[in-house]
Chains A and B, each alone.
Chain A
Amino acid sequence: DTGVSQDPRHKITKRGQNVTFRCDPISEHNRLYWYRQTLGQGPEFLTYFQNEAQLEKSRLLSDRFSAERPKGSFSTLEIQRTEQGDSAMYLCASSLVRGNTEAFFGQGTRLTVV
């Protein structure tokens, strides 16, 4: 297993367009997180899943953001009608839920909205 992979690594889009990112977690990991990170800040929690169930979505997240994890494997994060303020690095992480283990991060998808 090569770890958490995210696709694409970079995305440039025009304001108002929809974008979708994909995350493939480590295969046996049942928990998956999405975070957003801007320059000089810590990862900001967006949402997380345990298997296919979405456990929580940040109250700061607008309705333009939606995430899915069908069949409890890969996950997608969609942003509709992108705004310039959505420009950030979107990080995915996965972990096991078994006595608390570390989360492994993917390399992230850098989104630039122009």
Chain B
Amino acid sequence: QQPVQSPQAVILREGEDAVINCSSSKALYSVHWYRQKHGEAPVFLMILLKGGEQKGHDKISASFNEKKQQSSLYLTASQLSYSGTYFCGTEMSSYDKVIFGPGTSLSVIP
């Protein structure tokens, strides 16, 4: 039931864009996105509920395609502070637990 993430790792120069994908073999109720920096706890970015919505704040946004059981996280005009590991977490229902994917390591270099 663990979601699949791609790519495993990505290296960007400052100002470049990136897309991180998350997919599940099961129907999803919601997708959560978190970022974790080395040695720190995961920090919540956003949650998307079924309905195909798109959310975003600042230069980070995400979409959720319920029919394809996929979500994508978009990082535009990347900054050095975006570096870290990004995890998607999925729920099958509103009362289910959150299961996390293996993560995507993002490195932004000057």
Contact = CB atoms under 8 A, between A and B. Distances in A.
B64 interface: no
Nearest to B88: A42
Secondary structure at chain A's binding surface: helix, strand, loop or mixed?
A: loop
Interface stretch (A13-21, A77-85, A105-113): A105-113
Q: How large is the interface on B (under 10, 10 to 19, 20 to 34, 35 or more residues)?
A: 20 to 34
Contact of A33 (B95, B97, B102): B97
A46 to B, nearest CB: 10
Chain A CB within 10 Å, residue with most, of B2, B41, B98: B41
A101 interface: yes
Contact of A103 (B32, B40, B102, B103): B32
A67 interface: no
A43 B87 contact: yes
A65 B79 CA distance: 41
A107 B100 contact: no
A107 B42 CA distance: 9
Contacts, number: 49
Contact of A41 (B43, B95, B103): B103
Interface residues of A, number: 23
A48 interface: yes
Contact of A102 (B32, B41, B49): B32
Nearest to A4: B41
Closest 4 CB pairs of A and B: A102-B44, A42-B100, A105-B41, A43-B100
B27 interface: no
A107 B100 CA distance: 17
Contacts of A41: 102-103
Given A42-B87, A43-B87, A103 B98 contact: yes
A2 interface: no
A56 B94 contact: no
B47 A102 contact: yes
B88 to A, nearest CB: 9
